[in-house]
Structure 1
């Protein structure tokens, strides 16, 4: 099975299934000499793990990570880092009824058509549980980026039809958003909107249904000149990274689709000097032009679909009997994916930025006193 690895100079390979013994990631290309502990990784995994609130699945996992290689005396040594997270609270019995019945909105049907076999327990390899490995790898990438003044955050700006105040968010720096989003279960930096969003999610869950949302990413501290102009565009790699997250169905950089209704004179970001530094007066392009960073804050948005595992009766087929049938999905599932997708999107964005920095040899071995 191909497609389990991502990145070039900083390369990750995730492994494991939802209801297997464990999941994890192998990281190759981590800068030597960076201080790294299990606690550094655990704090990010804790943001992603299930059972955090009424708007997430009731599955209880400690997601306790172990570093099995690549770190010596508290520092990275440049060899592959193997991170492992045990699966402790998986109940496979709820999935026996759908062994031969593909769930609408899931990867079940396509996976079976491609491989003629699949682990039906919780979605197996195509489960959102796989993202724990990404978050663990992203924690390492974030730690390295922080050494070079690069910071990033992802946050929920919409759930269902409820939207955060765009003017409020635009006036918040990355650090302020990071602090605000951990104060509510939907990870929205607008507290008034967050309260409404939470009520909407709980209402949908009560009806056995789910909601989608939009997650915004913001990256500060990236200097001008990162990325390439053809196939290795920085925004193209960000798109692949974010779109590789199972629930993401749309992606835009900067003003994105709003560009379609703007004129060139409206959309173009005018250049100016700020002291000796060249900046743009606006940032419609989201910090990337022609595939290369401009030095302005990088911004992107991802459309997250509603959780496909819903208790409502849905039409499907039985691949064994060749008949039409219906199902109501059992088990424990998130009524909304967007809040738990936040640390996953952050991880993938961090991996892309670090990978490009290393590919362009803009980061060397960290020398610490």
Structure 2
């Protein structure tokens, strides 16, 4: 299976299956000299960990990370960093009856068509649990970016049709105060009520996650086919549940006039900067120095307990299945750290490509 590696100068390769022995990631391209320990990575893994609230699956996993290589005496050596997380609470019994019956909304059918053999337990490689490797790698990218004043924060702005309107300016703090990771407290309460309704009737719901990046310098990106927004789009669309992405004004741009859409420029302290940010921080595939803003449409969790039509891939007969097991009633709250990780990975990659970060070692501050 190809397609498990993402990035150029800062490159990650994730591995492992949902119900296998372990999952992990190999991160190649981290410069030497970055202070890093397992606590830095564990902090982010704890944010995506299952079993934390009624908004997530009941599967209980500590997701404890172990650094196998690339770090010595708490400092990166410039060699590949290998990280591993062991599965502890996998229960595969619910999937045995579905071995030959593709679940609607899942990758079961195309995986079988492509490979002819697959790990049917919990979706195997196509499971959302694959994102453990992304979040672990993203923790390294985040720490690298922090040294250059770049911060990435994601939050849920819509869930089940409920929209966040009064967003707390301190998004980073606000989202950790409720299990749906919404920075609007009133909307968060309504979202939780919606999730509980979905759970009781065996349904699921989707939503929208917004990713905000501040501190990114102007001029990052590699036109024409390696535009930074194109790489961000590829990163976000590689997350299993994402079905759409927009930047800045996004799809509203199709209904705007040029005079409304264009971001005029001003001079502030002898620095040229856009007055507005309808472009979402990117023009011509290059950063403008304004916050990079994008939003991802996230589909409802495909694993629902309602009866659904499918067909047996061996007998070729239609059947009705009911999916058992432990599943998230909605994906956006747990996708927040995953989206942050993928954004950080893209930005770290471009910072190195553009020469803003020495690819060999983190230079000491003067």
2:263 equivalent in structure 1:
269
2:6 equivalent in structure 1:
6
Secondary structure class of the residue paired with 1:24 = strand
Task: Give, in angstroms, the shift of residue 274 of structure 1.
Answer: 1.2
2:362 equivalent in structure 1:
366
Secondary structure class of the residue paired with 1:223 = coil
Q: Which runs of 4+ in 1 moved over 4 A?
A: none
Secondary structure class of the residue paired with 1:54 = coil
Matched, 1:212 2:206: yes
Write the distance in 2 (CA, Å) between the matches of 1:228 and 1:142.
21
1:41-80 aligned at under 5 Å gives the runs 41-80=41-80
1:144 equivalent in structure 2:
144
Task: Give, in angstroms, the shift of residue 229 of structure 1.
Answer: 2.3
Matched, 1:303 2:294: no
Q: 1:322 aligns with which of 316, 323, 328?
A: 316
CA deviations 1:178-207 (Å, max 9, x no partner) are 100000000000001000001001111110
Task: Give, in angstroms, the shift of residue 361 of structure 1.
Answer: 1.6
CA deviations 1:303-341 (Å, max 9, x no partner) are 000000000000110111110001110000000000000
1:90 equivalent in structure 2:
90
Secondary structure class of the residue paired with 2:58 = coil
Task: Give, in angstroms, the shift of residue 65 of structure 1.
Answer: 0.1
Q: 1:290 aligns with which of 284, 295, 302?
A: 284
Number of residue pairs aligned between Structure 1 and Structure 2: 363
Write the distance in 2 (CA, Å) between the matches of 1:115 and 1:361.
40
1:16 equivalent in structure 2:
16
Write the distance in 2 (CA, Å) between the matches of 1:146 and 1:70.
20
CA deviations 1:263-282 (Å, max 9, x no partner) are 11100000111111111111
Write the distance in 2 (CA, Å) between the matches of 1:320 and 1:112.
11
Write the distance in 1 (CA, Å) between the matches of 2:43 and 2:262.
40
CA deviations 1:199-228 (Å, max 9, x no partner) are 001111110000000000000000100002
Secondary structure class of the residue paired with 1:182 = helix
Secondary structure class of the residue paired with 1:141 = helix
TM-score with structure 2 setting the length: 0.98
Write the distance in 1 (CA, Å) between the matches of 2:349 and 2:275.
29
**RMSD between aligned alpha carbons?**
0.8
1:185-204 aligned at under 5 Å gives the runs 185-204=179-198
Write the distance in 2 (CA, Å) between the matches of 1:152 and 1:129.
22
Write the distance in 1 (CA, Å) between the matches of 2:215 and 2:341.
16
Task: Give, in angstroms, the shift of residue 368 of structure 1.
Answer: 3.8
Unmatched segments (≥5 aa) in structure 1: none
